[in-house]
Amino acid sequence: MSEYYLAADVVLSLSSQETFGLTTIEGFACGTSGIVYNCTASPELITPETGLVVKKGDLNQLISSVKRLKNLAKNTSPISVG
């Protein structure tokens, strides 16, 4: 899976019922930013360095957020665990 996260520009986690954004965290571990809806627990995972939170159903905000993150340099530094 890490190869997919490394190849991606952004991880979209657009569930409206997510309780813990494991796919978002996996993307972070590979240096890939995430975009999540504002109606779940996932916004708690997002910082200015890790991604963006968008209003559920706001397609224009989602598209502009994807474009914004795609234009940022990707953090490919390995994350140290433990």
pLDDT at 80: 42
Burial class (CB in 10 A: 0-12, 13-18, 19+), 31: middle
Instruction: Report which of 41, 50, 42 is spatially closest to residue 69, judged by C-alpha positions.
Output: 50
Q: What is the pTM of this model?
A: 0.82
State which fold the 2-70 domain adopts.
Answer: Rossmann fold (3.40.50)
pLDDT at 8: 92
Which residue is listed with tokens 């916004």?
A: 43
Residue 75 has pLDDT above 60, yes or no: no
User: Domains of the chain: which residue ranges?
Assistant: 2-70
Q: Are 3 and 28 in contact (CB under 8 A)?
A: no
66 contacts: CB under 8 Å, gap ≥ 6? 9, 10, 12, 35
